[in-house]
Amino acid sequence: MSGAEEFLGLDDAEAAMIELKLALSDALRQRRLAKGVTQSELAKKLGSSQSRVAKMEASDPSVTMDLLVRSHFALGATPRDLAKAIQKATQAA
């Protein structure tokens, strides 16, 4: 457990969920930009708002994992793509 996790009182499972959410948020922004899609365009595909997409990319606590995953799929990601994004992020940590 890192100092931040200990300071925040997070157990291993909570810390892992935060790490996962951060990885998916970062990968979402990278995928959206690589596809040349604006936040507004992604929001329209999701039936959501641009501000909600901004919150997804910022790892806002109000954003669910379900929405992050659905957003990746809306941009053409495969389950393998998500696994690679998660693996890359966790190896960098």
CA nearest neighbour of 68 among 15, 44, 58: 58
Largest CA distance in the chain: 40
CB within 8 Å of 39: residues ≥ 6 apart: 32, 50, 53, 54, 57
Percent of the chain at pLDDT exceeding 90: 68
CA separation for the pair 60, 43 (Å, rounded): 16
**pLDDT, tens digit (0-9, with 9 covering 90-100), for 63-75:** 999 999 999 999 9
Ordered by where they begin, the domains of the chain are 13-92 (1.10.260.40)
pLDDT band at 1 (very low <50, low <70, confident <90, very high): very low
pLDDT tens for residues 25-62? Answer: 999 999 999 999 999 999 999 999 999 999 999 999 99
